[in-house]
């Protein structure tokens, strides 16, 4: 199957979002590399690197570190969640280009397939990674749905709207509810409910300040809410990855990052339940992953 390069903005992103397809490719003989782009703050570095290395050993992949600084380290403004989840600013263009150049060298050396984040959820590091991978030449680039962000209703279609993307419906189940937009009010409520329930907020923010903290996270996005009617300049098609082997691989991968998975759900059974709920919303049973690809215009 050749070489495949998985792009993980942070230690855990590939594990949370694409471990099922990664495990399947390795089992089929692919030479897989996971490249973790951004280094965490120093206080977290040892733990998070250790988790990443344990995951790589368990899944039989090569781990490479990009060693660029995490957003909260490289720019003071990102220490505020209200800035961390807003559309990427122009001053990140040099970083996008530096990452693109590094990845292009790997593509030219033989990694002709790249699996990268779609950028669901809007974390600026995921946006940077997506932009860098989109600019690669000579690579088959597929985009995974960033988990756990994609588990919040309306996050995926909102990201597609920001990308000005039209979905090619041929491979979408007619029962799929995950691509539907809601009213601004319903979308805000869904996002607020997810943040309010997360241990990240419950355990780190006092009860009286939680609503204010969540409002601060959501306000910048609300002021730039993507319109429903866009030109659809990008056309994306989706492919589902499913099967009896997927849940075990996915939950094993998530479990490899205890410092991170507990920030989103209190137990691995909660992760299982949310992943299965998301599959049902797609019209699927069990647990699935989905990747997206650009549909290029037909040649003359």
Query: What's the pLDDT at 233?
Result: 81
Q: What does the pLDDT read at residue 232?
A: 74
The total number of structural domains in the chain stands at 1
The residue range of the domain holding 272 is: 3-294
- DSSP, collapsed to helix, strand or coil, labels residue 293 as strand
**Residue 285 falls inside a structural domain:** yes
Within a domain: 300: no
Q: What's the token pair of residue 220?
A: 């910048």
Q: Are 195 and 63 in contact (CB under 8 A)?
A: no
pLDDT tens digits for range 87-129 = 899 999 999 999 999 999 999 999 999 999 999 999 999 999 9
Burial string for 10-25 (b: 16+ CB within 10 Å, else e) reads bbbbbbbbbbbbbbbb
| Rounded Cα–Cα distance for residues 76 and 20 (Å) | 35
In a domain, 240, yes or no: yes
d(CA 140, CA 119): 18
Q: Chunked in runs of 10, what are the mean pLDDT values of the chain (300 residues)?
A: 90 98 96 97 96 98 96 95 89 98 97 97 97 97 98 95 86 86 92 94 92 86 69 87 95 98 97 97 94 79
d(CA 298, CA 268): 44
- The whole-model pTM stands at 0.95
With respect to residue 11, please indicate whether it lies within any of the assigned structural domains.
yes
Q: pLDDT per residue over 223-250, tens digit each?
A: 777 776 566 788 999 999 999 999 999 9
At 261 the pLDDT is: 98
CA 226, 171, 12: angle at the middle one, nearest 5? 65
Please state, in angstroms and rounded to a whole number, the distance separating the CA atoms of residues 278 and 12: 19
Q: Give the count of beta carbons closer than 10 Å to the beta carbon of residue 191.
A: 23
Are the beta carbons of 138 and 112 closer than 8 angstroms?
yes
Non-local (6+) Cβ contacts of 299 within 8 A are: none
- Evaluated on CA atoms 97, 103, 106, 107, the torsion sign reads negative
Burial 119-140 (b: 16+ CB within 10 A, else e): bbbbbbbbbbbbbbbbebeebe
**Whole-angstrom distance, CA of residue 191 vs CA of residue 297:** 35
Q: Is 299 domain-assigned? A: no
For residues 105 and 174, give the distance between their C-alpha atoms in angstroms, rounded to a whole number.
Answer: 40
Paired tokens of 24: 């399947």
Which CATH number fits the domain that encloses residue 185?
3.40.50.10320
Residue listed under structure tokens 């099922």: 20
In a domain, 205, yes or no: yes
- Extract the tokens encoding 282: 């797609």
């Amino acid at each position: 199957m050749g070489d495949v390069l998985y792009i993980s903005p942070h230690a855990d992103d590939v594990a949370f979002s694409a471990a099922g397809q990664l495990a399947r490719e390795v089992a089929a003989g692919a030479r897989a590399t996971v490249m973790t782009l951004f280094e965490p703050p120093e206080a977290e570095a040892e733990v998070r690197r250790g988790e990443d290395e344990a995951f790589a050993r368990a899944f039989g992949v090569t781990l490479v570190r990009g060693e660029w600084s995490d957003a909260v380290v490289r720019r003071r403004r990102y220490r505020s969640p209200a800035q961390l989840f807003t559309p990427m600013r122009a001053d990140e263009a040099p970083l996008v280009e530096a990452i693109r150049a590094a990845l292009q060298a790997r593509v030219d050396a033989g990694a002709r397939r790249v699996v990268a984040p779609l950028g669901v959820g809007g974390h600026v590091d995921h946006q940077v990674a997506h932009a860098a991978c989109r600019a690669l030449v000579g690579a088959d680039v597929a985009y995974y749905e960033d988990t756990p962000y994609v588990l919040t209703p309306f996050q995926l279609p909102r990201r597609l709207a920001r990308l000005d993307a039209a979905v090619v419906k041929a491979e979408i189940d007619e029962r799929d509810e995950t691509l539907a937009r809601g009213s601004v009010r319903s979308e805000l409520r869904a996002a607020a409910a997810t943040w309010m329930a997360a241990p990240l907020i419950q355990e780190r923010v006092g009860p009286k300040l939680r609503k204010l903290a969540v409002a601060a996270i959501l306000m910048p996005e609300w002021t730039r809410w993507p319109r429903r009617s866009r030109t659809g300049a990008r056309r994306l098609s989706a492919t589902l990855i499913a099967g009896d082997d997927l849940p075990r691989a996915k939950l094993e991968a998530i479990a490899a990052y205890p410092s991170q998975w507990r920030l989103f759900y209190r137990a691995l059974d909660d992760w299982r339940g949310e992943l299965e709920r998301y599959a049902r919303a797609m019209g699927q049973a069990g647990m699935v992953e989905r990747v997206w690809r650009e549909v290029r215009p037909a040649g003359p």
